[in-house]
Chains A and B, each alone.
Chain A
Amino acid sequence: MTAIILSIVNMKGGVGKSTVAVALAEALSLRRRARVLVIDLDPQSNASIMLAGQDRWDGLRLAGRTIDEFFEARLEQLEQEPLKAYVLEEVSDVEGCDTLDLIACTPEFRFVERDAIARFTGRGFAIESVQAKLATIAASGLRSVQRDYDYIIFDCPPGISLFAECAIALSDYLVLPTVPDYISRLGLLAFWRRALKLLPHGKRDENRAFVLATRYDETSPGQRAQLGEIDRDFARLKTIIPYNSDIARAAEYSEDKRSFEAKWRSGASVMQALADEVVERASRNFAPQAGADAADAARLPLQ
């Protein structure tokens, strides 16, 4: 049985993609004992630092055990190791969160995409060919880890990135964190259609791309109105992430382990609810693949 692949993605920055990716991964690992791999594709590296801490992340960067090195080795045709070799096991500062692994990203990842475009377009290839090349590398990489996990979560970069598009093309589900305001919703309209087209064949279904309202201020009439507009146009998760300073400060890695509740404080229950809802939504579409054994079939819903 292979992992369920989720991409946390939105063209817009500052909507809480990395925070959602980390909280979701921790809740799945801790509360549902699911095996979870977070793959950070954002050169800002926020999810990597939130999960591994500054020192371990520095170590990975120095040792070349990061997603940029994985892609670079393939693009430069250097010595190649499977994606599995880049996994950092047992990340997170939450006590008991011991089934959560990470493939980290670094700021240098932005050069990998830029160099790949320059190299291949310089040889006369179209940008679509570059995209296809990266997608092939990503897909072959995933094959080495897909059976080791229940969930693989891509934390995607903002903007229109070739790597974000690769992640979507490999995903079973998309979670699109969005602040319910006018500008964010406009961007979402365009991005959502594009994202649906990129999902794999057989999965281009509106019920696989979930909008998640984040940084929500229920006292704002404008945000309440925009939430209604979102509901009209998109499949939205019932869980709403409120604007909450406790959630923002949970991003700071603690060298000493702490409980999920101590980390997310007043945001703990909403993050748990998010994980529950994502699992429930995923289980609606879940159908065991041919050859999957009974244990695999019983995997969802995870209770």
Chain B
Amino acid sequence: MKAQKGLKLLFDAVLAEAKENPAFARRIESLFTAWAPPSKRAPKAKRPAPTLHSRSPVAEEIHPTRDIERLGEDGLHAALAGRSPLELLALLDAHNLDPAGKMMAETDSDVIAGFVVAAAKKKIARDRKAFDY
């Protein structure tokens, strides 16, 4: 019973914070989006339990550092166009492109997409230097 009480208090606190803090609410929403299965996937019972790093569909489809080399900067911008902020945040998270969480509260897709492209460029440049052993 202690556990149930503790969980209730925890969920109440999370709900209250989400109500007061839009950035926190968006972050929570983005996690659920990352977890959410496409509608035509296997029946619920057969899916493994979701985890924090479950792959989101957009992270499966777009690989920023690979795609910027393959498609160029404009090509990556085009691939990111029309994606929702939540999808783009899930992409940043999956590829660890925003380790300090600078975009966490951002709601503008264009801003987040620009950040994805810039972070991908930076990561490629850094990795190239790393291989200069």
Contacts and interface: CB of A to CB of B under 8 A. Distances in A.
A263 B99 contact: yes
A79 interface: no
B126 interface: yes
A107 B101 contact: no
Nearest to A262: B101
Contacts of B122: 255
B53 interface: yes
Given A245-B53, A266-B52, A257 B100 contact: yes
Give the size range of A's interface with the partner.
10 to 19
A49 interface: yes
Contacts of A246: 52-53
A249 interface: yes
Nearest to B119: A255
A54 interface: yes
Interface in A33-61: 49, 54-55, 58
B130 A252 contact: no
A254 B53 contact: no
Contact of B96 (A54, A55, A249): A249
A258 B96 contact: no
A254 B100 CA distance: 6
B129 A54 contact: yes
Nearest to A265: B52
Interface residues of B, number: 12
Contacts of B126: 54-55
B102 interface: yes
Contacts of A54: 126, 129-130
B133 interface: yes
Contacts of A256: 99-100, 102
Interface string B95-114: 01001111000000000000
Interface string B68-107: 0000000000000000000000000000100111100000
Interface string A225-263: 000000000000000000001100100101111100011
Nearest to B104: A262
Nearest to A45: B133
Nearest to B123: A252
A56 B102 CA distance: 22
A25 to B, nearest CB: 18
Given A245-B53, A266-B52, A49 B130 contact: yes
Given A107-B133, A257-B100, A258-B100, 10 more contacts: A54-B126, A93-B100, A246-B52, A246-B53, A249-B99, A252-B96, A256-B99, A258-B99, A262-B99, A266-B52
Interface of B: 52-53, 96, 99-102, 122, 126, 129-130, 133
Interface of A: 49, 54-55, 58, 93, 107, 245-246, 249, 252, 254-258, 262-263, 265-266
7 closest cross-chain pairs (CB), A and B: A256-B100, A254-B99, A258-B100, A107-B133, A254-B100, A54-B126, A249-B96
